[in-house]
């Protein structure tokens, strides 16, 4: 009896569980079937609901430069490593590290005592041989009339002539040696070969310096004005550069920051004759004035090549251009205040402006601040439009205040 009762209880519980499962399955399938329809209807009602407020700007037509941008390195047009040409003790340094110096300005003094002694010795040798030459010439002149009277032999006269000519050559050699010694003495005083700014001083006064040493130079001088900027561009852009190279409008701007105004401007002075195989780039250089030394050798700098000026470029704010899977696009407001998605082709960007080569025209209104709820076909109004403007036609070109700028 007890066993039968337990079987009945299990049967009732199983029936109840089956009924609950069947009811739950029916409800779930019904919800799944009705969900897309309900969601669609709900979305439709939302899309056709209130008017969205947006900020917009007009696409304008104005002159815009055609640019190539790169990163360059500043380098001096002239750089000289100053080295000693004679050995000796460095007695004096006439400048401070980092000073600007002029060509011919005294920089160092090496102890000239040894060079001075060698110069004095060369002068003494020269004077001695000059005296001997004068004596030999006098001897030749005394023997010449005696030869005519045959008081001496031809051989004796020829010896006197040979001695005079030999001493002439000796005097010339002495003069060259004296000049060499004078030049060596001049090397004791080292002057600036160019005008520029000095670098680190490698040797302090009191130290021994070696002539034409292989070590570090005494100091390096770099010219600062004008100065060169070297940069590389992809080889595909070389054709554009060469096409506009002789155009007066073409210029090269140097910028400390991409969005900052140019700090210097110059012309193209060098195009390398070889494409670098490893990078596929071509090296170019520009020479720019640098009187205020706003750029420095070794500095990385932004370079902008202005090839030409496009007089009728269509320009929109950067915020209006949106990325998409099929390319860039903008949201355009039509004459009925409706929104449509318009694919565009971006030509280039300059600061906060984007040049559009195709897709829109001047005067089109583009949305610059896109709400999350914005969808194609939605009705919008411009931020700042008051209630009194509701009755105005959406197709009227908005005043600047109405553009949300």
| pLDDT single digits (tens) 28-52 | 444 333 333 333 333 333 444 568 8
Give me the phi and psi of 118, to 5 degrees please: -65, -35
Alpha-carbon dihedral angle through residues 145, 151, 153, 157, given to the nearest 10 degrees: -30
- List of E strands, 338-393: 339-343, 345-350, 353-358, 365-369, 380-382
Beta strands 196-198 and 100-101 are: antiparallel
| Topology annotation, domain 68-77+226-309 | Elongation Factor Tu (Ef-tu); domain 3 (2.40.30)
Cα–Cα–Cα angle for 396, 400, 405, rounded to 5 degrees? 125
* Residue 190 near residue 82, CB atoms below 8 Å: yes
* Residue 192 near residue 221, CB atoms below 8 Å: yes
Enumerate the β-bridge partners of residue 90. Answer: 110
Alpha-carbon dihedral angle through residues 373, 374, 375, 378, given to the nearest 10 degrees: 110
Q: Give CATH 2.40.420.20 domain extents, the chain.
A: 52-64+311-400
Q: CA-based diameter of the chain, in Å?
A: 182
Domain 112-187: homologous superfamily in CATH: Helix hairpin bin (1.10.287.470)
Q: Which CATH architecture has domain 52-64+311-400?
A: Beta Barrel (2.40)
* Domain 78-111+197-222 coded CATH 2.40.50.100: yes
Q: Give CATH 2.40.50.100 domain extents, the chain.
A: 78-111+197-222
**Whole-prediction pTM:** 0.65
The pLDDT, as a whole number, for residue 118 is 92
SS3 (DSSP) at 378? coil
Enumerate the β-bridge partners of residue 84. Answer: none
Q: Give CATH 2.40.30.170 domain extents, the chain.
A: 68-77+226-309
The pLDDT, as a whole number, for residue 381 is 86
DSSP state of 379: B
Q: What is the pLDDT along the chain (405 residues), one digit of tens a residue?
A: 455 555 555 665 566 656 555 555 554 444 333 333 333 333 333 444 568 888 899 999 999 888 888 999 999 999 999 999 999 999 999 999 999 999 999 999 999 999 999 999 999 999 998 999 898 888 888 888 887 888 878 888 888 889 889 989 999 999 999 999 999 999 999 999 999 999 999 989 999 998 876 678 999 999 999 999 999 999 999 998 998 888 888 899 999 887 788 999 999 999 999 999 999 999 999 999 999 999 999 999 999 999 988 889 999 999 999 998 888 999 999 988 899 999 999 988 887 889 998 889 888 999 998 888 888 888 888 886 544 444 444 444 434 333 443
The pLDDT, as a whole number, for residue 23 is 54
């Amino acid at each position: 009896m007890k066993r039968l009762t337990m079987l009945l209880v299990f049967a009732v519980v199983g029936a109840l569980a089956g009924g609950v499962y069947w009811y739950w399955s029916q409800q779930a399938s019904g919800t799944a079937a009705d969900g897309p329809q309900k969601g669609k209807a709900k979305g439709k009602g939302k899309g056709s609901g209130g008017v969205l407020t947006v900020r917009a700007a007009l696409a304008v037509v104005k002159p815009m430069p055609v640019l190539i941008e790169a990163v360059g390195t500043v380098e001096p047009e002239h750089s000289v490593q100053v080295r000693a040409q004679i050995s000796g003790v460095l007695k004096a340094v006439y400048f401070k590290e980092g000073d600007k110096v002029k060509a011919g300005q005294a920089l160092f003094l090496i102890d000239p005592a040894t060079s001075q002694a060698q110069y004095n010795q060369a002068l003494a040798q020269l004077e001695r041989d000059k005296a001997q030459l004068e004596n030999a010439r006098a001897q030749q002149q005394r023997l010449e009339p005696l030869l005519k009277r045959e008081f001496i032999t031809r051989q004796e006269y020829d010896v006197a002539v040979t001695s005079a000519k030999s001493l002439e050559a000796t005097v010339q050699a002495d003069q060259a040696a004296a000049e060499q010694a004078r030049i060596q003495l001049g090397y004791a005083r080292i002057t600036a070969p160019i005008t520029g700014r000095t670098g680190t001083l490698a040797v302090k006064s009191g130290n021994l310096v070696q002539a034409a040493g292989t070590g570090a130079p005494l100091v390096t001088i770099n010219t600062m004005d004008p100065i060169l900027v070297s940069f590389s561009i992809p080889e595909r852009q070389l054709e554009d550069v060469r096409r506009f190279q002789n155009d007066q409008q073409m210029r090269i701007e140097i910028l400390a920051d991409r969005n900052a105004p140019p700090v210097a401007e110059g012309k193209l002075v060098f195009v390398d004759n070889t494409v670098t195989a490893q990078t596929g780039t071509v090296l170019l250089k520009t020479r720019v004035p640098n009187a205020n030394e706003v750029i420095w050798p070794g500095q990385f700098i932004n370079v902008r090549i202005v090839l030409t000026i496009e007089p009728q470029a269509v320009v929109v704010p950067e915020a209006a251009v949106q990325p998409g899977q099929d390319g860039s696009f903008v949201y355009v407001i039509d004459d009925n205040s409706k929104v449509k998605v318009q694919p565009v082709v971006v030509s280039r960007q300059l600061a906060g402006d984007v040049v559009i080569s195709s897709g829109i025209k001047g005067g089109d209104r583009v949305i610059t601040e896109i709400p999350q709820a914005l969808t194609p076909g939605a009705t919008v109004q411009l931020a700042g439009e008051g209630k009194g403007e509701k009755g105005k036609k959406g197709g009227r070109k908005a005043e600047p205040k109405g553009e949300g700028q």
